[in-house]
A and B are shown apart, each in its own frame.
Chain A
Amino acid sequence: MKKDEKVSSIQMLFLLVTTVTVTGFLFVPSITAKFASRDGWISVAVGGTLFGIIVALVCTKLGLYYPDKSVVEYAPELVGRFGGKLIGLLYIFFFMHTNAIIVREFGDFLVTAFLPETPLLVFNSIVVLVAAYAVYNGMEVLCRMNQFLFPLFIAAFSFIVFLLTENISFDNFLPLMENGVKPVIWGSMVPGAWRGEILLMLMFLPFLNQPREAGKTLITAVFVIGFFLTLTAATSIAVFGPLLTQNMVFPVLELARYVSLGHFLERLEAVVIIVWVAGVAVKVAAFYLAAVLGTAQWLNIKDYRPLVYPVGIFILLYSAALFENSRELVDFLATVFAPYAYFFELIIPLGLLAVALIRKRGGQKQ
């Protein structure tokens, strides 16, 4: 295990923002619009952010007890060998499963919107292959690559939003909270789960060159992610209205397709999709790295590299076997995913933190 690899807080921030936003902004607007209709953006902005901050605080607090270890390594120390290993295994499974879902989302999206005649497996295997290459080269390379791409993501995002300003009508937000707060809260479950993906920090904290700044990094990440996701959700509601939005599978894609620059540059969604592909590669690589690192630590292997290819093949096969059709995937994301993710993002870390607090009380505080 290459513990000497170090990344800066800003690199970690970028990595987390890319990781969460890139799939979030594809699915979240339509799912929240389904629950909260025209108030979907409030769900994303307020509910998701609140949940994200809680996860950030818990993860940081927990991680800082062991600033040079990942959750898979310190869980056995906290709750005993058997329980700890079990928790480690659960997390490894969570990372692999989530990654398989991401890969599937990616492939499904490209087949639906981009090259419909190409088999799903081609997209999936290529993105896993690219991610494997990144993982093989380690955390530093992954962060550097993301840092290089980040301005590109911002550019593509602004491209969509700014060119659509003339089509935005703020009337679509009215009336605010027509049906009370309840739908808004329900709507915020899914964006909350997405925001909670910053729990990757449980695995990546040892890579930070200044672990003290982890909390600040995470909370900044939550706000930056919140900004982007809210902007996306709000833009699609403002442009298409809540009723069209909630029936679209990928509102952001529709936004990109709707962009027109003086009736000359139109239909440029391919460019946006391509930039998005780069983002997904980063996300897949991040979860992939977490899974591989976790497995190596769980098995007490020094170097994780031999595991890269087996884990990759597992993720690839799993992603192909997960869902029957594309609606099943969206349905999973809208209903099952939130409680499932909450379990890993909040409940387990909270439990571990409680144990840590009890154990360490009066003990040394680093």
Chain B
Amino acid sequence: MFKKWKKIIKKAFVKPHNESQAIGRGESKETVSTDLDKNMRHLKAVFDRCTDIIFREFEAAIGGGVKIAMVYIDGLVNKEMLTEDLVKTLMYDVASLNSSASVSDPAGYLSRRIIAFTEVKLQDNLLDAVNSVLSGETVLFVDGVSKAFALSTQDWVQRAVTEPATENVVRGPREGFTENLQTNYTLIRRRIKSSRLKFETMKIGAITKTAVSIGYLEGIVNNKIVDEVRNRLQRIDIDGILESGYIEEYIEDAPMTVFPTVQATERPDKVAGGLLEGQVVILVDTTPFALLVPVTFPQLLQASEDYYLRWPFASFIRFIRFVTLNIALLAPPLYIAITTYHQEMLPTPLLISIAAAREGVPFPAFVEAMLMETTFEVLREAGVRLPKAVGQAVSIVGALVIGDAAVSAGLVSPAMVIIVALTAISSFSLPSYFGAFSLRILRFPLMALAAALGLFGVMAGLLALLIHLCSLRSFGVPYISPLAPTSWRDLKDMFFRMPWWSMFTRPRMTGSKEPARQDYMQKPRPPRRRPGGGSGK
């Protein structure tokens, strides 16, 4: 049945989006001609009705006024630089050059001697020239030369490097990725000054032609993972990539899961840390979110700050996070299960006060919990979407509705409010916003199971969840890997964060190629005699 549908769908939507057809109207293979007018005609045809494309033709002050044309997109180039360094140079300054000598290789001569730009690409093909224009370069055509010169004049309005919105830290760098790929390279490169840091770039998206870059540390990374990432990226065939989320869905190992098997992060320091542990980063132009693969579930519970704080604090925070993980997932289901099936588990006074508080509440605990959880999710969503100024109002309304009015109206019991509040706070305390998402979703089926079968239902749900987690892999790495299969070595960086000088090795799953992270025996040993001499007093 489904197969039939697939066929129909295929027939209806066959659309090999051939780039050359779309843009070049069959003339794409055309090479750059020596005839400037012909080139310009072609380009003007391609950029028909594109008002933001600027065509400028002028004569250079050499060779008796060679005709030159330049094409660029208004707003993507640095006009000042163009005027000063290109137009002015060509129109006035080059006049002083000895122009009588005939040049055997005019294109080479021009790029070597005349065009004063740091990056100049020579292009034979008009399609390349078109693409260069589209990516913000200025393309220069010279009459009589069968090459186009693509000058890197890109300069557009961009956001400054600011603090990331999703992963805040108290201690640690405040820089976050921006929408600009180059800036993002810089942010990583400034942290890892090594020639082993490689970036491979490719363009994905038939129309958007978004630059996507794979970064890794050669020698540390497992080459198989890099190959796999490259393969999966190359397989993507889509018209446009607007955010790294597009990529994420194409390269996941398990597309049908609620758990992220690719980690999205805004923090360059996190990416640098991942690279040092053998992870691969995927940077996507126009996105401030970099993707890290492979990722394991425990890693989603780790914040980059864990590594900057002193280890006892970091370990304590991690412990708290495991607690909150469980609360975020299990508090409402357990409340439902215990109050409707296993009342014997509650201490008698507690049971009596819950019973007293629920006296007069019209809904069963399950409906009550669903009501409150849904209200909360709605409030949260509203808080994200609304303009900042209105957000305040929403939170006040939410606090009143959830906290007070519902209870005094007798719609819900105070105990339920506590549970919902606890769940909400707990789910915010998880460092990965996207990991917390999956818990938020899973909570609802677990609540239904709790209402149907009590703790037994919750356990059955959790077991299925566990089996599911165990069967997941992220680029070949088992998803709950330091736990099962157990790697004692890696558990040092899981429930606890052991001191840096004790974590000798990189994680086994990703960093096995060059396992040693550091030298042994680096535990600080203060000298017997205090520096500065003297005996205390």
Contacts and interface: CB of A to CB of B under 8 A. Distances in A.
Bind each other: yes
Contact of A274 (B344, B456, B471): B456
B405 interface: no
A130 B464 contact: yes
Interface stretch (A60-68, A115-123, A173-181): A115-123
Contacts of A274: 455-456, 458-459
Contacts of B486: 10, 147
Given A115-B456, A122-B453, A133 B347 contact: no
Contacts of B456: 110, 114-115, 123, 126, 274, 277
A133 B455 contact: no
A10 B485 CA distance: 10
Interface size, B (range): 20 to 34
B478 interface: yes
A299 B156 CA distance: 68
Contacts of A118: 453
Contacts of A11: 485
Contacts, number: 79
B135 to A, nearest CB: 45
Main secondary structure of the interface of B (DSSP, over half): helix
A148 B466 contact: yes
B1 interface: no
A145 B344 contact: no
Interface in B450-498: 453-456, 458-460, 462-464, 466-468, 470-471, 478, 480, 483-486
Given A144-B484, A147-B484, A277-B456, A270 B342 contact: yes
Contact of B480 (A148, A264, A265): A148
A177 to B, nearest CB: 40
Main secondary structure of the interface of A (DSSP, over half): helix
Interface in B424-462: 453-456, 458-460, 462
Contact of A130 (B341, B344, B467): B467
A137 B463 CA distance: 13
B344 A267 contact: yes
Interface string A133-149: 11001101101110111
B9 interface: no
A133 B467 contact: yes
A333 interface: no
A233 interface: no
Given A144-B478, A144-B480, A148-B470, A115 B485 contact: no
B396 interface: no
Given A114-B456, A274-B456, A141 B341 contact: no
A165 interface: no
A8 B485 contact: yes
B8 interface: no
Interface in B331-369: 341-342, 344-345, 347
17 contacts: A110-B456, A114-B456, A115-B341, A115-B456, A130-B464, A141-B470, A143-B484, A144-B470, A144-B478, A147-B484, A147-B485, A147-B486, A148-B480, A148-B483, A148-B484, A270-B342, A277-B459
